[in-house]
Amino acid sequence: MATLPAYFAAFGIGGSELVLILLILLLLFGGSKLPSLAKGLGQSIKEFKKASKDEPEEEKVAEVKKTTDSSKTNGSN
In whole angstroms, give the CA distance from residue 48 to residue 40.
12
As a 3-state breakdown, the chain gives helix, strand, coil percent values, each rounded to 5, of 80, 0, 20
pLDDT the model gives residue 44: 93
Does the pLDDT at position 61 exceed 80?
no
Mean pLDDT of 8-26: 82
Is the pTM here over 0.85, yes or no? no
Q: Are 45 and 52 in contact (CB under 8 A)?
A: no
pLDDT the model gives residue 62: 65
In whole angstroms, give the CA distance from residue 46 to residue 57.
18
Mean pLDDT of 43-48: 92
Beta strands, E only, the chain: none
Domains in the chain: boundaries: 44-77
